[in-house]
Amino acid sequence: MNELAGKHIVLGLSGGVACYKAADLCRQLIKEGATVQVVMTEAAEQFITPVTMQALSGRPVYGSQWDAREPNNMPHINLSRVADAVLIAPCSADFIARLVQGRADELLSLLCLARPAQQVPLLLAPAMNREMWAHPATQRNLAQVAQDGAVVLGVGNGDQACGETGDGRMLEPLELLDELIAFFAPKRLVGHKVLVTAGPTFEAMDPVRGITNLSSGKMGFAIARAAREAGADVTLVAGPVHLPTPRGVRRVNVQSAQEMLSAVERHVQAATVFIATAAVADWRPSSASAQKIKKDGSGNAPALAFTENPDILAIVAKSAHALEGDLFCVGFAAESHDLLAHATAKRTRKGVPLLVGNIGPAAFGQDDNALLLVDADGHRELPRASKRVLAQQLVEEIALRVPSRRARVSD
């Protein structure tokens, strides 16, 4: 989607097996529209060659502060002045220690030290053995570099090249890409706690069957991601969908509408924004059979009775928390026709300040959609675009309608 278009990234590699992942990371950054200047330490060149990184980035790699290709012979100045960010991936334990000490005896640490820190952020993707990661010296150094202004990205957990298992693996290239995109996103919802419902619900008839719908959860997941990128603390209550959890988002899996309501009730008190994107089943079988319902040979279908499910959005919108103005509620409306009329009526019926209408059959399962925003002042269309873009636009619209909580955060 070219989310990094116009961004120039200095990708620094220090020594570690995870250098092999840096090759893919470089490709992913370029695929998202960034230009990438690779800088490698001598140790990194033991793990992957500059030839590979040059081929992938389309630019000669720098590895020495004595590189005579620069007319002024100052690559540490020239490369750092034009960067939008410096990302060290992999960032070894040794390199972190070097940053802490402000060492400048090789190009990459020299460049980090010489960069204009206010304009060029430094992001670190640590990669090391679990014992090295857990060592107090490393943890002390990480705390220090963070205090000095670096953004320390997390590490993964799992099998390590040494055969051990634990914390310290470098994040995967796509995870790092998401982190970088999130880093550049405008922080419009800092201090907010956003609760999102997404996906369908599944209402059991018996242990193997149930009632559900075609909601894919894509819109809700995209909104959760965009809200987190905007700086919010995000909890996503998800019905049964096969979608990866957006990075940094807390996910609570549920099946039925009643489970969704309980999960929402558990988290809503702390929330400042509630976004109900879930396609909650309107009815559930009145009693689910404990055993599989068998055909009785008569040719007749079993007679099922249904009970209406609780309206989660309406319940939340009527709570004291929302009525006192501490919770901004956003509803969705999946309609098949007369979108504006239905969405306007639904906004009033549900008692929410903002209702987002869409044509259900054209939206379910698709990667793109078109939205109609209805509030007390009227309506506004968000034309057809990817759900990712629409989610970013919707988060922007919500941020315009909720009080800024930046000041409270720094209290």
Shortest Cβ distance from residue 218 to ligand CTP (Å)? 14
Q: Is 126 helix (H, G, I), strand (E, B) or coil?
A: strand
**Phi, psi (rounded to 5 degrees) for 115:** -70, 150
Q: How far is CA 322 from CA 121, 202, 309, 353, 356, in A?
A: 38, 27, 21, 10, 18
**Lookup: tokens for 277:** 């994107």
Pick the stretch among 85-93, 134-142, 308-316, 391-399 that binds ligand CTP (CB under 6 A): 308-316
Q: For residues 11 and 16, give the distance between their C-alpha atoms in angstroms, rounded to a whole number.
A: 14
Contacting range for ligand CTP; rule: CB under 6 A; set: 53-61, 87-95, 183-191, 305-313: 305-313
Q: How far is the CB of 362 from ligand CTP (least distance, A)?
A: 14
What are residue 88's DSSP bridge partners? 12, 124
To the query of whether residue 112 is one of the catalytic residues in this protein, the response is no
When asked if residue 224 is in the footprint of ligand CTP (CB under 6 A), the reply is no
φ and ψ of 8, to 5 deg: -110, 120
Is 391 in contact with 223 (CB distance < 8 Å)? Answer: yes
Count of residues near ligand CTP by CB under 6 A: 14
The yes or no reply on residue 334 touching ligand CTP (CB under 6 A) is: yes
Active-site annotation holder among 19, 26, 91, 162 = 162
Of 63-71, 116-124, 234-242, 325-333, which segment contacts ligand CTP by CB under 6 A?
Answer: 325-333
Please name the amino acid found at residue 315: I
For residue 362, the surrounding DSSP H or E stretch is helix 360-363
Question: Residue 286 corresponds to which amino acid?
Answer: S
In 92-185, the DSSP E strands lie at 122-126, 151-152, 156-159, 165-169
343 binds ligand CTP (CB under 6 A): no
Nearer to ligand CTP, 35 or 344 (CB): 344
Residues in contact with 272: Cβ distance below 8 Å, sequence separation at least 6, in sequence order: 191, 192, 193, 194, 326, 327, 328, 402, 405
Contact 387, 367 (CB under 8 A): yes
The radius of gyration of the chain from alpha carbons, rounded to an integer in Å, stands at 25
Does 126 contact ligand CTP by CB under 6 A? no
- Identity of the residue, 190 or 288, whose beta carbon is nearer to ligand CTP in the bound complex: 288
From 230, 276, 363, 398, residue interacting with ligand CTP (rule: CB under 6 A): 276
* Region 230-269 residues binding ligand CTP, contact defined as CB under 6 A: 257
Site for ligand CTP in 189-218 (CB under 6 A): 197
Which residue type, as a one-letter code, is found at position 376? Answer: A
Binds ligand CTP (CB under 6 A): choice among 13, 280, 339, 394:
280
With contacts defined by CB under 6 A, name the span among 112-120, 229-237, 331-339, 399-407 that binds ligand CTP.
331-339
Q: Which is nearer to ligand CTP, 113 or 345 (CB)?
A: 345
CB of 315 to ligand CTP, least distance (A): 8
Phi, psi at 253, each rounded to 5°? -90, 135
Residues in the chain: 411
* Interacting residues with ligand CTP between 367 and 386 (CB under 6 A): none
Among positions 332, 339, 354, 392, the unique one binding ligand CTP when judged by CB under 6 A:
332
User: Does the footprint of ligand CTP cover residue 313 (CB under 6 A)?
Assistant: yes
Binding residue (CB under 6 A) for ligand CTP from 331, 363, 373, 395: 331
Active-site positions?
162
| Contact residues for ligand CTP, defined by CB under 6 A | 197, 257, 276, 278, 280, 282, 309, 311-313, 331-334
